[in-house]
């Protein structure tokens, strides 16, 4: 099954970002991808953290969700829609209120355009090195449950696919939870890693998650200098179950593509049956 990570350098303009996403999805599908994944906040990289609250959508309704569904259906692909801000269910949404929060949510659409899965980011990023400070909890509410879905390849093979987002990558217990009751064959990690944290830990953590869970890891990222001055690390990549990096792009918009096979999964898991040896 060919799978693709789409790298972007999102702007503060939602319409421009959706146009870029459509172009990249079409490019990946044209190269044979059956599963395509967008980066975290593919739809907006605002001037301020609170900008995302003004364009947060209600679950099941809005132009961002509409674009994802239509693109998946048009190209006949499984589409992991990076993340977008979703309003909290049952809570009045006033983006100007100081206590307003949203969810940072990954939505997955099948080749028929129907929604196949939803995951609300569990771990909220906080970083302060004296020069840069980020605190997602100021605008977001954390999710609470791991989520996985089954992607059906055109050849009839099925791949259990786990969902995670960016900062989740630092918490191996989330990925262990995704390996039960059955192991995931693929883990997707949409991200917008900061430049300093990405330079230090991005590839290291992606390869570790692939090795310890003996699965493929597909990591679509924001990668470049954004109009708001922020620089994201990029290096979108595909890692195989042995920890080998199969494809990577350092910076700039693009498609990172490779192939996921049942044969490779079986080979790694049989020659070193670590998953079968789990005790805890």
Which residues are catalytic, by number? 40, 121, 166
Q: Residues 251, 232: contact at Cβ < 8 Å?
A: no
Q: What residues pair up with 217 in beta bridges, in sequence order?
A: 187, 239
Q: Residues 85, 104: contact at Cβ < 8 Å?
A: yes
Between CA 65 and CA 114 the distance in angstroms is 11
**219 Cα distance to chain centroid:** 6
Between CA 63 and CA 51 the distance in angstroms is 17
């Amino acid at each position: 099954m060919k799978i693709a990570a789409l790298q972007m350098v999102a702007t503060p303009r939602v319409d421009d970002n959706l146009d870029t996403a459509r172009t990249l999805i079409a490019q990946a599908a044209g190269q044979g991808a059956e599963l395509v994944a967008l980066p975290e906040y593919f739809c907006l990289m605002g001037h301020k953290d609170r900008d995302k609250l003004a364009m947060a959508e209600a679950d099941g309704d809005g132009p961002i969700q509409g674009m994802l569904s239509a693109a998946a259906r048009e190209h006949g692909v499984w589409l992991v829609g990076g993340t977008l801000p979703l309003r909290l269910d049952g809570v009045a949404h006033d983006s100007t209120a100081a206590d307003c929060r949203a969810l940072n949510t990954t939505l997955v659409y099948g080749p028929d355009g129907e929604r196949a899965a939803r995951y609300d980011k569990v771990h909220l990023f906080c970083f302060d090195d004296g020069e840069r400070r980020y605190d997602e909890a100021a605008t977001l509410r954390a999710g609470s449950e791991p989520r996985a879905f089954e992607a059906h390849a055109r050849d009839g093979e099925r791949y259990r696919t786990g969902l995670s987002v960016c900062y989740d990558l630092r918490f191996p217990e989330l990925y262990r939870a995704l390996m039960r009751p059955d192991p995931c064959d693929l883990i997707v990690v949409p991200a917008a890693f900061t430049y300093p944290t990405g330079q230090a830990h991005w590839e290291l953590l992606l390869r570790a998650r692939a090795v310890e869970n003996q699965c493929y890891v597909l990591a679509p990222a924001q990668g470049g200098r954004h109009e708001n001055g922020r620089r994201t690390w990029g290096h979108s990549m595909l890692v195989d179950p042995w920890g080998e990096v199969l494809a990577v792009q350092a910076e700039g918009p693009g498609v990172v593509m490779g192939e996921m096979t049942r044969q490779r999964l079986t080979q790694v898991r049989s020659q070193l049956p670590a998953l079968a040896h789990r005790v805890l």
